[in-house]
Structure 1
């Protein structure tokens, strides 16, 4: 496939330091700040899920399909801070200028990445270019909702209305894929506070792989992959899984329906 394709997903927790500043919670410990932010958000919006600008990224996982290769991994190390994760993500776009693929990336992941890049001073000229640096980017860029340089599968399949958005887990199950294994987004903050970052990174990676496999079916539906090509791409993923010693990939392979 050309250009390279980069599938991505992020996992976040409430930005407690940001919450301190915005809500005037200086002097409170992290637990108190988290509780106060939850209460304030619940009262204002009926949900305690924080807005994009008050999300802190703790994991970014990607799958890269380039040339003959395919791999899926989490950016940085477990010890990497948020700024490094964000920088690595945008550096990958600068280096490869891939098609980027997400599930609800336009509705959540990218707005969070934008705010965190702003906070950490991360430059990403190729990502933001709409024709200033490259004239072709006017018609083929990451910012345009109805272009495919960023393909938000959830948004595209729901015909950009928002009324028919579907959860990735349910679409994955409909296609015979494993879906979410052992964790979902509501569990991430608790897992993070319990020191289970490896589990969060593994969970994020499985979401990315589910998204990639849905994308392959989407490309087949569009006629950009034929049946032999789809079979070949799926087998490439299975080869990646069989070659990995990681427990979450073994679990994914075992849960994946044959065919």
Structure 2
């Protein structure tokens, strides 16, 4: 069993994205002649409220601009937490780097709500920027290994959306990342909320957005370990060893958001014997 366990966790990318309204796209789409970016964002959200009869102002995926992509990379005995690209990189550069990593390493993707939001956003932005992603879109035409397990089919596991799976694929049963993290005893979100990303972006605080995104990734990664334990892909000793490995790695990082996460992460996340 131990050998099988090690094989299942060899090459995993736990990821999350942060976005803001696509101001330039909104101007083109709706013919908005307004110089103030904040005003354009407000108009787009107002349009969305009208469209949904007040149910939400959250824009459709194709009107989101990616400002951060963060990931925890498990590769054998190695683990690394980082955000794609440099602080000054364009959206196209960030999205290209994400799909290039898939092209090169073909990792299993793990997310919370990635099937409904993160990946559709990345699909549209890659499409709009003309970014190639051949391996990601492979469904068996060129590589038969992808016929029954690819990134885009809902019930396959090259992309494992924890929220979608735990809800039984029922929208009425979904849970927020923050709620599940806190229920599990994890730190949850730190520094800001998703609704505050635009304000931080407008103030040039890209580093803060990336740190916020990285904390979301850490919460998701620890919930992923719990899921792998509950479905029998990790026994108790392997589950605890993975947590120890991640904690040890983070203890060698000196960023404020990492130290805060470590301070709030309980030493032992108890599981049944």
- TM-score, length of structure 1 as denominator length: 0.97
Q: Does 1:43 align with 2:87?
A: no
Aligned to 1:129: 138
Q: Distance in 1 between matches of 2:24 and 2:261?
A: 36
Q: Distance in 2 between matches of 1:100 and 1:125?
A: 16
Q: Distance in 2 between matches of 1:230 and 1:101?
A: 17
Contact 2:11 2:73 in 1 (8 A): yes
Contact 2:187 2:265 in 1 (8 A): yes
Instruction: Pick the aligned partner of 2:120 from 111, 115, 119.
Output: 111
- RMSD of aligned alpha carbons: 1.0
Aligned to 2:271: none
* Residues 85-128 of structure 1: per-residue CA shift (max 9 Å, x gap): 00000001011101100000001000000000001111111100
Q: Secondary structure at the match of 1:163?
A: helix
Q: Distance in 2 between matches of 1:28 and 1:181?
A: 32
Q: Does 1:64 align with 2:73?
A: yes
For these two proteins, the number of residue pairs brought into alignment is 259
Q: Distance in 2 between matches of 1:32 and 1:183?
A: 22
Q: Distance in 1 between matches of 2:237 and 2:129?
A: 44
Q: Does 1:17 align with 2:28?
A: no
Q: Distance in 2 between matches of 1:215 and 1:78?
A: 28
Q: Distance in 1 between matches of 2:226 and 2:192?
A: 24
Q: Distance in 2 between matches of 1:90 and 1:104?
A: 18
Q: Does 1:91 align with 2:89?
A: no
- TM-score, length of structure 2 as denominator length: 0.92
Contact 2:14 2:73 in 1 (8 A): yes
- CA shift, 1:26, in A, is 3.2
Aligned to 1:30: 37
Aligned to 2:177: 168
Q: Distance in 2 between matches of 1:27 and 1:203?
A: 30
Structure 1 alignment gaps of length 5 or more: none
Q: Secondary structure at the match of 2:204?
A: coil
Q: Distance in 1 between matches of 2:181 and 2:39?
A: 37
Indicate the larger mover: 151-160 or 22-31.
Answer: 22-31
Q: Distance in 2 between matches of 1:120 and 1:138?
A: 27
Q: Does 1:178 align with 2:161?
A: no
Aligned to 2:267: 258
Q: Distance in 2 between matches of 1:184 and 1:35?
A: 18
Q: Distance in 2 between matches of 1:248 and 1:239?
A: 16
Q: Does 1:76 align with 2:85?
A: yes
Aligned to 2:244: 235
Structure 2 alignment gaps of length 5 or more: 1-5, 269-273
Runs of 4+ in 1 over 4 A off after TM superposition: none
Aligned to 2:3: none
